[in-house]
Chains A and B, each alone.
Chain A
């Protein structure tokens, strides 16, 4: 079964707005990762946050992790049309190294 579940399934915003996507997971983790996928292509790693971290930044990306609630959020600030893609969270549940993904959030940024 899939470990992570992203919310919402789809999100449509205007350029310049912020986009927030959430991920919930089921079991203990070592870290949580976010990936991006442009239509029909492979995934690209965005950011990794370790279980002992609460917040991490990378450029216009901000990720938070709440291990007590088993949830994470990805914030993209000042979005651009080029941010249009699907975003996935991924974890390695239960100490294994199997990387398990959620179903993704499809983000559309309108010019």
Chain B
């Protein structure tokens, strides 16, 4: 079975901290995604990567950056966490060319 693993299920950070959310997939997928999910807003794409070191901005990249140094790992970085970044963060991966995506279990981040 495909496995997408997010490093933490719950995380509490302080305003201004630099926060790293890690995601690892074990199926050699080319595509990886980071979303945030908020009530009433659905899933919004933050960043997308289609290959090592390659990334594209999604709909809401402000305040975030990403890193993909290895194919299996895609990191989301909050450069200076703010309270409005309190949310559920979901990572996903998929093979190339329009196929299904596989999701991690999510990280619920609270910034205080």
Contact = CB atoms under 8 A, between A and B. Distances in A.
Contacts of B99: 48
B40 A31 contact: no
Contacts of A42: 4, 90, 92, 103-106
Interface in B64-112: 88, 90, 92, 94, 96-106, 108
A85 to B, nearest CB: 13
Interface residues on A, range: 20 to 34
Contacts of B88: 40
A99 to B, nearest CB: 6
Contacts, number: 68
Interface of B: 4, 31, 33, 35, 40-45, 48, 50, 56, 58-59, 88, 90, 92, 94, 96-106, 108
B40 A103 contact: yes
B92 A1 contact: no
B106 A97 contact: no
A48 B88 CA distance: 25
Contact residues of B: prevailing secondary structure:
strand
B91 to A, nearest CB: 8
Most chain B C-beta atoms within 10 Å of own C-beta, residue among A30, A43, A88: A43
Contacts of B44: 2, 101
Nearest to B100: A45
A100 B45 contact: yes
Closest 9 A-B residue pairs measured CB to CB?
A: A103-B42, A42-B103, A101-B43, A45-B100, A43-B103, A30-B98, A98-B48, A42-B105, A104-B42
A92 B98 contact: yes
A33 interface: yes
Nearest to B44: A2
Given A2-B59, A97-B31, A45 B43 contact: no
Contact of B102 (A1, A45, A104): A45
A92 B50 CA distance: 13
B42 A88 contact: yes
